[in-house]
Amino acid sequence: MPEPRVWTFFYGSYMNPAVLAETGLHPDRFVVGRLPGYDIRIGPRANLVPSPAHAVHGVLVELTHAELARLYAHAQDVLGEVYLPHPVVVVTEGGPCPALCYISPSMAPRDPERAYVDRIVGPARAHGFPADYIARLESFRPRD
């Protein structure tokens, strides 16, 4: 019997297929969605904070629990950040979708690297996120 797949909401560099491929993941499809009640921060990595006035744009991907474990072990071992799963409801064109969303409970604030922000902005443009949201993402680029 195949391992069950779960919807997972990506809002940072994991929206980027090239970044997922670095960890051996090649999702079949990406579904654009919006997560109300949160705002994004990038510093040094993407993370979400509760904010009733905001919504975060991202993509839903179906992965197995084993794939998620491998992906977030990579986040901890290579990127140095711990992310934990939270149940959320993402708004999509097809209606609401229950999903897991990984959020870091504590991230020491630091400036992000320009290349890291670019790995988020590129897919945001490719997925057709609103211009004001892309501008928000770009605002996290460090000033040279």
Peptide bond into 2 cis (omega under 30): no
Residue partners of 49: CB distance under 8 A and separation at least 6: 38, 39, 41
Q: Which sequence spans correspond to the domains of the chain?
A: 5-138
Structure-token match 């195949």, residue found:
2
Classify domain 5-138 by CATH number.
3.10.490.10
Contacts of 63 (CB under 8 A, 6+ apart): 5, 6, 8, 25, 27, 71
Question: Would you write out the chain's pLDDT as a tens digit for each of its 144 residues?
Answer: 788 999 999 999 999 999 999 989 999 999 999 999 999 999 999 999 999 999 999 999 999 999 999 999 988 988 788 999 999 999 999 999 999 999 999 998 899 999 999 999 999 999 999 999 999 999 999 986
Of 40, 37, 83, residue with least CA distance to 58: 40
| Position 33, amino acid | G
